[in-house]
Structure 1
Amino acid sequence: MTQQVQFEDLGNMPYKQAWDYQESLLKKNLEVKAALRVAADRQQALTTDDSRLTTQHYLLFVEHPPVYTLGKSGDVSNILISEEERIAKGIEYYPTNRGGDITFHGPQQIVGYPIFDLEKFETDIGKYLRKLEDVIILTMADYGLKGDRSPGETGVWLDPDVKGRERKICAMGVRCSRWITMHGFAFNVNTDLAYFNNIIPCGIQNKQVTSLEKELGRKVDFEEAKERVKRNFEKVFDIKL
């Protein structure tokens, strides 16, 4: 059944503010699930108010000011500059509760945060991540580019099987609590790739990072790119935004 998803474009927002907003939406959904569990455990019929209780899906798009974020299993040594250098460059840093290692978020990068209840889709995190990858692969195809997967590495790549030519264009890292997701993906559109020189992106040595702009040799209309990603979300997840 097609799921209704509330879409919000948060524009340019500091990382911590967007993270806090995600947490508030996650909490709201977890409270709904808790209320439904209590009613079920007591084998009580739902009250009129309870019967309207349901989790709500959200898809958030945002651009962040320059920031490095570290996944909960990440290694801080993958940041290659000192704290003083980072601060001098105006780059924030946050250790987070998502999966994955170190990555960069910044202007002209589509950062997407799906807050989905996977119990209404499929309770399989691996399949959820593959679908996120499919969204970006389809979007790249819209631009005439072949996005692909790299075995054992989450995200979307170009030429993952050509040694020395592997280029990552979209990083992913998620958290899931009682099948409610948060965090998500970072898709490089016209992103300043120089920021990635200060880290070992995703903790993966000797592989490049790229963007739509770099691959196409031209600036990409950012709003158009967001619309393409939205449309492909609807296709892949069978949702209505």
Structure 2
Amino acid sequence: MNKKVALQDLGLKDYKDTWDYQELLFQKIVDLKIQNRRSGTTTETPNHFLFVEHPHVYTLGKSGDINNLLVNEAQLKEKEATFYKINRGGDITYHGPGQIVGYPILDLDNFFTDIHKYLRLLEEIVIRTLAEYDLKAERSEGETGVWLDVGTPFARKICAMGVRASRWVTMHGFAFNINADLGYFDLMIPCGIKDKSVTSLNVELGKKEVDMEEIKQKLLYHFNDLFEAELITKKAEV
């Protein structure tokens, strides 16, 4: 069981380019697992964790409803945003500047083979990070992601999640609003949920801007702790 995880921070990167890169890393792990099974070998499978910030983009999961995107192609262009229908779970999500996106591409055979546990631990990473800023974040029953003021009329999502897994290999991940332009969320029905709003950490803390590098370090600390992982920083390859 290889607990080492190669960390790459891709900076500001086009969504499609990053998706292609994820697919490449994902497929290499899957192919190695298939090869191991066929040949009876036990070659160690790698794990990856990508940090990235995307230009404005809307993505729709496999079971999502296109009607949850409230603008047409011309309006998207006017807002300098793009749109992709992709292969993760969940409905519609927005990514953009001021948001930390994390893509763990893990072979869960190296950790635990439980997708439900995997999602709950991703949520817990964000919940523990927000607790360091005296914010009580929670899960909302039946709604993946991290929320504030659950069970009140002021419930709002601060981190969205959607993953894909095959042969216990994961891809996609979480989108954590840090200094996000919340106006872009008005152009969709976030995750298809009509009666709840979206927020960003800078808004919750009453700050113009929050240090995103500081947040990344806190996220990685809690990732290491919860997954009992060993992160190894690599130079970005794309």
| TM-score of the pair, normalised by structure 2 | 0.94
Partner of 2:145: 155
SS in 2 for 1:28: helix
**How far 1:196 moved relative to its partner?**
0.1
CA distance in 1, matches of 2:44, 2:60: 32
* Alignment length (residue pairs): 230
**Mapping for residues 76-95 of structure 1, pairs under 5 Å:** 76-95=66-85
Based on CA coordinates, which of the two structures has the bigger radius of gyration? Answer: 1
Matches within 5 A, 1:117-136: 117-136=107-126
Cross-structure match for 1:29: 29
* 1:6 partnered with 2:6: yes
Please, which moves more after superposition, 116-125 or 192-201?
116-125
Separation (CA, whole Å) in 1 of partners of 2:106 and 2:191: 24
Q: Which amino acid aligns with 1:38?
A: R
| Pair 1:171-2:196 in alignment | no
**Regions of 4+ moved over 6 Å:** none
Cα distance in structure 2, aligned partners of 1:222 and 1:123? 31
Equivalent pair of 2:108/2:168 in contact (CA under 8 Å): yes
- The CA deviation string for residues 21-44 of structure 1, in whole angstroms up to 9 with x for no partner, is 00000111011111111113xxxx
Match of 1:43 in 2: none
2:173 maps to what in 1? 184
Deviations, residues 81-101 of structure 1 (Å, cap 9, x unaligned): 111111111101000000000
Alpha-carbon distance between aligned partners in 1 of 2:105 and 2:2, rounded to the nearest angstrom:
16
- Say which SS state the counterpart of residue 157 (structure 2) adopts: strand
Matched to 2:154, the amino acid is: R
TM-score w.r.t. length of structure 1: 0.93
Alpha-carbon separation, structure 1, partners of 2:18 and 2:164: 15
- Give yes or no for contact 2:165–2:171 (8 Å, CA) kept in 1: yes
Quote the residue 1:201 is aligned against. 190
**Quick one: percent identity of the two aligned structures?**
56
User: Matches of 1:88 and 1:192 in 2, distance apart?
Assistant: 16
Shift in Å at residue 2 of structure 1?
7.8
1:54 CA displacement: 1.5
Match of 1:143 among 133, 147, 152: 133
5+ residue gaps, structure 2, are 232-238
Q: In structure 2, the residue corresponding to 1:85 is in which secondary structure?
A: helix
Q: CA RMSD in A?
A: 1.1
